[in-house]
Amino acid sequence: PDGEEDELDFGNHTPILFMDFDPKNFRLFAGDQIGRLRCYDFTSIFRHVDEHLKQPDPRNKYFLNEIYNYKTGKGRIKSKTLWYVDAHHESIKHLFFAETHPKIIISTSHDLKVKLFNAKNGSFIDELKQGANKYAPVPTGIKYKGVDPITSKFLIIIRKTI
C-alpha cells in the first residue's frame, strides 16, 4: 500500500529492529519484529536540517523539534511512508540496502529466509531458504570465561555436544 501509513508514527506499531539508509534518495528502510519492511522518505527532514546548518539561528536551539512527533502532534516537518510490505512471517533479523545495486534490499528473518525486494516499490524479487526443518542450532563446543553480569560471579563454562 502506497503511503497508507502516513498518519502512523515512524515505527509506532512494533519496534524497528534494523534499518538501512539510501543516502542518494534520502530513503530509510526499516524492518520490525512482525516481519514488516517499510520505506520512508526523509527528504523533507534532511532539507530542514541542511537549511538550519547553512544558516543557523542561535535563537532556535531546538530546530529538530520542528520535525513532526506523531505522539504529541507537534512539529511541521514529516517523513512520508512510501511503501510497506509484510516481508517475513517472523521478525526481521537484518536488512541491507545494496548501494552498488540501488534497486535491491536484502532482508533476513527468524523464519530462516533471505529475501530480496525492489527498493523503489517494495515488490518481492526472490528468496533463499535455509532449510525445511526449523531447529535451534546445536553447539559443537562453547568455552566461556568471564563474569556473570547478574550474579557477578566468575564463570568458566565448557560445553561439548556429542
And the C-alpha cell for 140? 559443537
How many angstroms separate the CA atoms of 22 and 42, rounded? 10
Q: For residues 1 and 82, which has the higher predicted lDDT (pLDDT)?
A: 82
pLDDT in tens, 58-89: 666 666 666 666 566 666 777 788 999 999 99
Work out the burial of residue 15: count CB atoms within 10 Å of its CB; fewer than 13 is exposed, 13-18 middle, 19 or more buried.
exposed
Q: State yes or no: pLDDT of 57 exceeds 60.
A: yes
127-146 average pLDDT score: 62
- Indicate the average pLDDT of the chain: 75
What residues contact 135, with CB distance under 8 A and at least 6 apart? none
pTM score, whole prediction: 0.66
Q: For residues 51 and 8, which has the higher predicted lDDT (pLDDT)?
A: 51
And the C-alpha cell for 22? 539510501
Q: CA–CA distance from 146 to each of 37, 38, 140, 149, 160 (Å)?
A: 38, 40, 20, 9, 18
**In the Cβ-directed half-sphere of 152, how many Cα atoms lie within 13 Å?**
0
Q: State yes or no: pLDDT of 158 exceeds 80.
A: no
pLDDT in tens, 93-109: 999 998 887 789 999 99
